Structure 1
Amino acid sequence: MRVLIKGAGVAGLTAAFELASRGAAVTVVEIGPSLGGNASWFAGGMLAPWCERESAEQPVLDLGRDAADWWEAATPGQVTRAGTLVVAAPRDAGELERFASRAGGHRRVDEDEIALLEPDLAGRFRRGLLFPDEAHLDPRQAMAALHDRLAAIGVEFRFGVDARQVSGFDRRIDCTGMAALDDQLRGVRGEMLILHTPDVSLSRPVRLLHPRFPLYVVPRTGHRFMVGATMIESQSTGPVTARSMIELLSAACALHPAFGEAGIIETGASVRPAFPDNLPRVEAHGGTVVVNGLYRHGFLLAPAMARLAAEIVFSHDKPEELAHETHRQRQSA
């Protein structure tokens, strides 16, 4: 079976891997000139289904709990399994309790254990939550590694090509996100900073809870840190706003004052596609399977969506269904 995949973001790359692993001859077409530059490029890379359950529906946990295993198998060496640490200032203890009540998979940690887990946060927080089974990766390195593995197993990549000009395939997988022009999709803008400071070391993603502006800091190599949190109902792709910059930096400094002296080595904003229920969908329309609506859970949910897409491609019928409904039915079967 010859399959054309439109889009080389995380949805397209994971779908390519699942299809190629099942024996399909896969071609990935990307209108951009090279890998990157899309919403996936600006992601946090947190494989944190239990943390996300605090604000997301149960299917996000159900579909995302195996994501770290998938990424580790597909891109060996890219996944760091150190869990997630959630902390709050003493005045925001209520936020920590609210988070704990909505999210499972954690245990409570006190000031002494926080210092053992993250020595640079010693004495800064009295209580926290550790999600030991969560993981993280660097999205750009993981995408590059997955691209290289796909190329090595025979997947063809065509960059700078409009998929409408390509023919001769048995099935198509549309993984183009906002470019799919689905009337049900809305854009959710996310903004991020990458800071560099040798004065802070973190072993795992740290989430700082705040009633107005929660923050996450994800460690990268070379004392770099991805800082993010914004979720703005907007399809604007413009630069990070001054307000967001101030809030992100203020929250980072609240986590550790040394971030006030950090170098800002990159800022970025992307628009993530979301359906009204904030859950992804895998749908079949004739010979095309559409994967979309990953919202803020791209790296977490893309493997499960890719498996569903591959199953649909290799089935003889043409189902059209919500991915989370498919999962629910299988769980109850």
Structure 2
Amino acid sequence: MNIAVAGAGLLGRLLAWKLLQLGHRVSLFDRGSRAGELSAARVAASMLAPYSEVASAERQVFDWGLMALRWWPEQITLLEQQTGQSISYGMDGSVVVAHDLDKSSLRHFEQQLQAKVPDHCDRVERIDRMRLRDLEPELAERYSSGLFLADEGYLDNGALLAALEAAITKLGGKWFEYSEVVSLAPKRIILSNETLAFDWVVDSRGLGAKAQLPGLRGVRGEVLWVHAPEVNLQRPVRLMHPRYKLYISPRPNNRYVIGATEIESEAMQPVTVRSTLELMSALYSVHSGFAEANLLHAFAHCRPAMPDNLPVLNCEAGLLTVNGLYRHGYLLSPQLAENALAMLAEQTENSVTV
């Protein structure tokens, strides 16, 4: 089939890549370039943290997240084989710590997990200083206890998006860069100067679909990228705090993605001074080596979310809508993409049968 994908963010790229492998012709439309500089997928720590997220989310987030932990290594291996590009990732768990004055936040977090996923709490390990020294030696001097979440990980989102672009291009996908989709309909993409016809249209535009998806809103997120030669963390680290939950996600060559902010706002202006100061001061409290880190980037973006903060998947003849990944993009996109492909196949089979 001839399929259009509107919105070349994480979901759009995954679906385009999969559809091309199934033998379909795919055209991608995006208001930015194929580098994805305007995508919310770039402004993410891309942590694969089902336990950390389910504490304040629905059980579905946890179940789909466990699936992602199995799915991503297989797909990354395939992407690397197709493109020759390396994608850094880790599936060795994450560490959760808290300063002595904030231990109540850590206990509350553990209680939330016991309530939300009682059938998986055997994978939540209370750790002392000695165990922490085994996992992350550089944290052991500052923290005497914490939690180890064995079934968590991370991936390098920048490398992943670049590899998906390369794979899509290699498989014959057609890119329509800087193409603002004014509107769309079943089997139709409407641009400012023309209307194009397809067998199917996939709408994965994020906030760009707000006019056509009632209830869709933006939730602002801010992240910092730092280079810290004096810091050597192998796993994602979360710092529990009464006001915010700082996360640190490692990247190759002593680079780290730092974030914590989640603001009910669709403002797209740069990261604020207040957020930067709060993130940096909290970062230094985790590891003194961050004092000598270089600030590489400060990114802000709005992530698309529905009222229940769960993704939406709708299908009608000729139009498939996938959206609303909220802050769980890399955690939920594998299951959502597979569900979308299955729904598309079913609809196509039914139409052929009829």
Aligned partner of 1:157 among 175, 198, 202 = 175
Tell me the residue number matched to 2:285. Answer: 254
Which contiguous aligned blocks of 4+ residues in structure 1 show a shift greater than 6 angstroms?
none
Residue 308 of structure 2 corresponds to residue 277 of structure 1: yes
Match of 1:84 among 89, 94, 103: 94
Instruction: Write out aligned runs for 1:16-165 (5 A).
Output: 16-37=16-37, 38-76=39-77, 78=87, 79-103=89-113, 104=121, 105-163=123-181, 164-165=190-191
Please say if residues 213 and 247 of structure 1, whose CA atoms lie closer than 8 Å, have aligned partners that are also in contact.
no
Q: Is the 8 A contact 1:27 1:156 kept in 2?
A: yes
Q: What is the identity, as a one-letter code, of the residue corresponding to 2:233?
A: L
Q: Distance in 1 between matches of 2:228 and 2:328?
A: 27
Q: CA deviation at 1:152?
A: 2.4
Residue 5 of structure 2 is matched in structure 1 by: 5
- Match among 314, 321, 329 for residue 345 of structure 2: 314
Contact 1:191 1:229 in 2 (8 A): yes
In 2, distance between residues paired with 1:284 and 1:300? 22
Q: Using the alignment, how far apart are the partners of 2:147 and 2:22 within structure 1?
A: 40
With 10-19 and 214-223 compared, the bigger mean Cα shift is at: 10-19
- Measured against aligned partners, the alpha-carbon deviations of 1:69-122 in whole angstroms (never above 9, x if no partner) come to 322222225331121111111221111111112224321111111111111112
Aligned with 2:251 (options 197, 213, 220): 220
Q: Give the whole-Å Cα distance in 1 for the aligned partners of 2:150 and 2:230.
A: 25
More displaced stretch, 280-289 vs 133-142: 280-289
2:56 alignment partner AA: S
Do structure 1's residue 180 and structure 2's residue 209 form an aligned pair?
yes
Q: Is the 8 A contact 1:286 1:318 kept in 2?
A: no
The TM-score normalised by the length of structure 2 is 0.86
| Structure 2 Cα separation of the partners of residues 187 and 141 of structure 1 | 25
Question: Does the 8 Å CA contact 2:34/2:165 hold for their aligned counterparts?
Answer: no
Structure 2: stretches of 5+ with no match in the other structure: 78-85, 114-120, 182-189
| Distance in 2 of aligned mates of 1:2 and 1:36 | 23
- Counterpart of 1:305 in structure 2 is 336
2:321 pairs with 283, 290, 298, which one? Answer: 290
Counterpart in 1 of 2:265?
234
1:138-183 CA deviation, whole Å, 9 max, x = no partner?
Answer: 1110111122222223332221223423523111111100010233
Aligned to 2:200: 171
How many Å separate the matches in 2 of 1:274 and 1:237?
Answer: 15
Q: For structure 1, which segment, 238-247 or 72-81, has the greater mean C-alpha deviation from structure 2 after superposition?
A: 72-81
For 1:44 and 1:23, how far apart are their aligned partners in 2? 32
Q: Which runs of 5+ in 1 are unaligned?
A: 320-333
Deviation at 1:269, TM superposition (A): 0.2
| DSSP-derived class of the 1:315 partner | helix
| Number of residues of Structure 1 aligned to a counterpart in Structure 2 | 319
Moved more, 300-309 or 25-34: 25-34
8 Å CA contact 2:317–2:347 kept in 1: the answer is: no
Contact 2:34–2:175, Cα closer than 8 Å, also in 1: no
Scaled by the length of structure 1, what TM-score is found? 0.91
Q: 1:318 to 1:271 in 2, by over 3 A?
A: farther
Greater Cα offset, 16-25 or 307-316: 16-25
Alpha-carbon distance in structure 2 between the residues aligned to 1:74 and 1:3: 22
Q: Please give the per-residue CA displacement for 1:178-205, whole angstroms capped at 9, x wherever unaligned.
A: 0102330111000011111211110010
Give SS of 2:256's match. strand
Matched AA of 1:89: H
Residues 94 and 148 in structure 2, CA contact (< 8 A), matched pair in contact too: yes
- SS at 2:164 equivalent: helix
8 Å CA contact 2:304, 2:324 repeated in 1 = yes
Listed one character per residue, the Cα deviations across residues 277-319 of structure 1 (whole Å, up to 9, x for unaligned) are: 1100101244211111100001111111111111121123899
